[in-house]
Amino acid sequence: MTNPLATQIADLKLSNPTMLAAGVLGYTGLSMKRVIESGAGAVVTKSMGIEPRTGYGNPTVVQTDCGLLNAMGLPNPGISHFEEEMKELNKLNAPTIFSIYGFSPEDFAEVAKIAVEIGAAAVELNVSCPHVKKAGAQVGSDPSLLMEIVKQVKSQIEKPVIVKLTPNVTDITEIAKAAQKAGADAICAINTVKAMAIDPETCKPILANKYGGLSGTAIKPIGLRCVYDIYNAVDIPIIGCGGISNWQDAVEYLLAGACALQIGTAIAFQDITVFKSVTDGITNYLEHKGFNNLKDIIGLAHKT
């Protein structure tokens, strides 16, 4: 019997559409193993670069009324140090996607090559962190620079290349089209929304970096709109990300055109059982509505 929740991104096969989003529980092999065992179809690591980075000073995270605001500043051990962590993950059936970043197209290409050498099933280019200068959203808002990054990465690896986009641009579809033109295999939308919090007592911004990225339920309508628009603009698969915390959110993203879904902040507000509750909920929805499989609902909101 075929699995109604099976989905595919280029040659990457997933047993269900849920993935661990980059940045949450993605530092160690053991934490990602737990996420896979709790039902995620794939995991994405914390973004990694060539050199280790300590990131910003504290406070790096603030809880707001409607989600989390973070400015971690890309802390990571450097890609090579991740080889050890992959020993656990390479034994499992679900793919590990490496989120990578760089300060130039050459950096991205070098990190991507190492990622694949140590076991990445795909790479996700982080061109969308809202608050690291000369990386992240600064490169992902420039279509020609983005194209050069994608081309150089594609020339180095055979595995699928996913491009994670920032919503902090005037027209996200222009960036998505540039990524497709340069050879990207998939788009992930969206990274966090640039935001801030101020403490009335100290009269100062709370985050040490002042600005951060907002994630969680507040950004779901923004992510949904981006996926809906990108679906009309490109022909490559879209991974929905932003504020997914239950099966209804997941179904909305599928209807908008996503073929897979990333979950991050909901783990902080619930726990890792969220992957199973989301997949169970999608299964029940398909049955209840008389759909055969995920393909029946991907992009369906465009046809009504």
Catalytic sites, residue numbers: 129
Using the minimum distance from each CB to ligand RRO, give the nearer residue, 126 or 279. 126
Rule CB under 6 A: is residue 167 a binding residue for ligand RRO? no
Using the minimum distance from each CB to ligand RRO, give the nearer residue, 23 or 39. 23
Q: In the range 25-64, which residues lie near ligand RRO by CB under 6 A? A: 47
Rule CB under 6 A: is residue 71 a binding residue for ligand RRO? yes
Rule CB under 6 A: is residue 262 a binding residue for ligand RRO? no
Q: In the range 79-108, which residues lie near ligand RRO by CB under 6 A? A: none
Q: Name which position in 72, 122, 139, 184 contacts ligand RRO (CB under 6 A).
A: 72
Using the minimum distance from each CB to ligand RRO, give the nearer residue, 146 or 294. 146
Please provide residue 109's backbone torsions phi and psi, each rounded to the nearest 5 degrees. Answer: -65, -40
Nearest distance, CB of residue 196 and ligand RRO, angstroms: 13
Nearest distance, CB of residue 254 and ligand RRO, angstroms: 23
Contact indicator for 101, 20 with CB cutoff of 8 Å: no
Q: Which of 223, 273, 257 is nearest to 243 (CA)?
A: 223
Q: Name which position in 95, 213, 237, 242 contacts ligand RRO (CB under 6 A).
A: 213
Tokens for 103, please give them. Answer: 């300060």
Using the minimum distance from each CB to ligand RRO, give the nearer residue, 74 or 282. 74
- Asked if omega into 206 is within 30° of 0 (cis), the reply is no
Nearest distance, CB of residue 164 and ligand RRO, angstroms: 7
Rule CB under 6 A: is residue 129 a binding residue for ligand RRO? yes
Place of tokens 């594609």: 154
Rounded Cα gap, residues 83 and 73, in angstroms: 22
- CA dihedral sign of residues 97, 226, 250, 7: negative
Within 8 A by CB and 6+ apart from 101, the residues are 47, 48, 49, 74, 107, 108, 111, 125, 126, 127, 129, 132, 135, 136
- CA dihedral sign of residues 296, 298, 303, 304: positive
Rule CB under 6 A: is residue 20 a binding residue for ligand RRO? no
Rule CB under 6 A: is residue 140 a binding residue for ligand RRO? no
Q: Name which position in 73, 102, 140, 243 contacts ligand RRO (CB under 6 A).
A: 73
Among left, alpha and beta (phi > 0; psi -120 to 50; other), residue 246 is beta
Tokens for 265, please give them. Answer: 């902040």
Q: Name which position in 45, 70, 138, 152 contacts ligand RRO (CB under 6 A).
A: 70
Name the site residues for ligand RRO (rule: CB under 6 A).
23, 47, 70-74, 126, 128-130, 191-192, 213
